[in-house]
């Protein structure tokens, strides 16, 4: 359907990148705030980046609270616009696909072509600016680690390799818990370099499948690129490395100044004389190099230290996959934080749940009609057992592998905690006998 009547009213420009401009906008019919990214399709390179982002976001069948959501994509030619869908037979869409594949403009160069992405509006800037403008906070660090681990597990389960994870590409949506506490929500964004891997086999939804998809195009941002990306032969484990760089830098507030923009950025690196070298590049030259972790703190949680080392291993086979990473992050957080801090981190995030049955005399079991990927029930049961053995009568974790809004709540003295009830954490705890 082609229309000349715009559905959105642009309010102000909020960001500008190498291939697009982002605006705050309002939906005329509802008044809702959205972000609109305008991409000019004047070159094959711009078209390819735009289509990669469109294909990645439109391939996701469900939403995740920590992944930017694509509401719709609109293709504009001069003053006419039409909604674009993946696999469309529209001549305008096919011209863009052909342009991307052939590397030359296959549409009328006299016409002005634009792609408009309508997405979540994030009012807190990016992760880099958010963290560096505030004092270090263990609670914030823990919350961000859990959200990032959850988002990456979701993307890899959906066969998406991001390939450009960095703090600048992680947006912040500012909100508050029902108790009025600040609750920043991360949104992984900027999928212009992403790759959607083909799904095949009986376990196509397993994150392990995406780790068998080998890519050869060296792309990303150098300070977050894994050693194998520099070589041009890598899998989704490169995303794990990038997240390791981010988490290490966040925990210790390690920064560097970008030579081109002179902007201070979060990122870990290796110091060689007066030069700073990206970790991936340094590990490519010397795979046996031992990283100094912690680099600035006097001490660091031993489990956190080992996890960062594993994520930054020069050998991608030695890195955890996204599911194991998420589980280990939850374990670390549960060991470190008390119930009150957990409540502040995940309060108000509980959505449709999965029944967890357990007692003091039996192993926990996962129930419900959700179809879980192979291996996840065992992992979750292991986590539940560990929590109960620690003597924490009320513990919270939130691995994402159940559903996009699932949060796992555990109370060792309760047989059935919560099932498919949308409640805040505090409401849930009050409703369950202690």
Active site residues: 164
Q: Residues annotated in the binding site for ATP, as ranges?
A: 38
Q: How far is CA 160 from CA 31, 55, 222, in A?
A: 32, 10, 20
Q: Provide the annotated binding site.
A: 38
Sign of the torsion formed by the C-alpha atoms of 363, 366, 367 and 373: negative
Phi, psi of 252 (to 5 degrees): -105, 0
* Phi, psi of 285, rounded to the nearest 5 degrees: -75, -35
Give the 3-state secondary structure of the chain. Answer: CEECCCCEEEEEEEEECCCCEEEEEEECCCCCEEEEEEEECCCHHHHHHHHHHHHHHHHCCCCCCCECCEEEEEEEECCEEEEECCCCCCHHHHHHHHHHHHCCCCCCCCCCEEEEEEECCCCCCEHHHHHHCCCCCHHHHHHHHHHHHHHHHHHHHCCEECCCCCHHHEEEECCECCCCCECCEEEECCCCCCEECCCCCCCCCCHHHHCCCCECCCCCCHHHCCHHHHHCCECCHHHHHHHHHHHHHHHHCCEEECCCCCCEEECCEEEECCEEEEHHHHHHHCCCCCCCCCCCCCCCCHHHHHHHHHHCCCCHHHCCCHHHHHHHHHHHHHHHCCHHHHHHHHCCCCCCCCCEECCCCCCCEECCCCCCCCCHHHHHHHHHHHHHHCCCCEEEECCCCCCCCCCEEEECCCCECCCCCCCCHHHHHHHCCC
């Amino acid at each position: 359907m082609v229309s000349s009547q715009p559905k959105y009213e642009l309010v102000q420009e909020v960001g500008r990148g190498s291939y697009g401009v982002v605006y705050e906008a309002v939906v005329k019919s509802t008044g809702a705030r959205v972000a609109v990214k305008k991409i000019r399709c004047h070159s094959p390179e711009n078209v390819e980046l735009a289509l990669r982002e469109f294909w990645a976001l439109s391939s996701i069948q469900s939403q995740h609270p920590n992944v930017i959501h694509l509401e719709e994509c609109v293709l504009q030619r001069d003053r006419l616009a039409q909604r674009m869908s993946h696999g469309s037979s529209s001549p305008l869409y096919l011209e863009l696909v052909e342009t991307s594949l052939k590397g030359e403009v296959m549409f009328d160069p006299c016409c002005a072509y634009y792609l408009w992405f309508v997405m979540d509006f994030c009012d807190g800037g990016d992760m880099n600016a958010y963290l560096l403008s505030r004092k270090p906070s263990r609670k914030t660090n823990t919350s961000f680690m859990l959200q990032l681990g959850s988002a990456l597990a979701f993307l890899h389960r959906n066969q998406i390799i991001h390939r450009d994870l960095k703090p600048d590409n992680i947006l912040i949506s500012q909100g508050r818990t029902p108790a009025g506490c600040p609750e920043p929500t991360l949104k992984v964004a900027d999928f212009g370099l992403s790759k959607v891997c083909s799904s095949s086999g009986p376990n196509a939804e397993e994150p392990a499948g995406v780790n068998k998809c080998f890519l050869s195009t060296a792309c990303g941002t150098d300070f977050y690129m894994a050693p194998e990306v520099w070589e041009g032969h890598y899998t989704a484990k490169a995303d794990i490395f990038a997240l390791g760089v981010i988490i290490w830098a966040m925990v210790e507030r390690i920064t560097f100044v970008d030579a081109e923009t002179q902007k201070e950025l979060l990122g870990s690196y290796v110091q060689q004389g007066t030069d700073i070298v990206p970790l991936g590049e340094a590990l490519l030259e010397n795979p046996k190099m031992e990283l100094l972790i912690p680099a600035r703190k006097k001490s660091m949680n031993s489990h956190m230290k080992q996890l960062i080392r594993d994520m930054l291993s020069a050998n991608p086979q030695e890195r955890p996959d996204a599911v194991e990473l998420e589980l280990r992050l939850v374990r670390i957080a549960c060991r470190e934080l008390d119930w009150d801090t957990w409540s502040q981190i995940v309060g108000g995030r509980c959505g449709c749940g999965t029944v967890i049955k357990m007692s003091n005399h039996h192993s926990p079991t996962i129930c419900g009609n959700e179809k879980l990927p192979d291996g996840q029930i065992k992992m979750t049961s292991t986590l539940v057992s560990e929590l109960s053995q620690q003597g924490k009568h009320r513990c919270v974790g939130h691995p994402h592998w159940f559903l996009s809004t699932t949060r796992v709540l555990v109370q060792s003295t309760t047989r059935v905690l919560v099932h498919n009830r949308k409640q805040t954490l505090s409401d849930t705890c009050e409703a369950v006998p202690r």
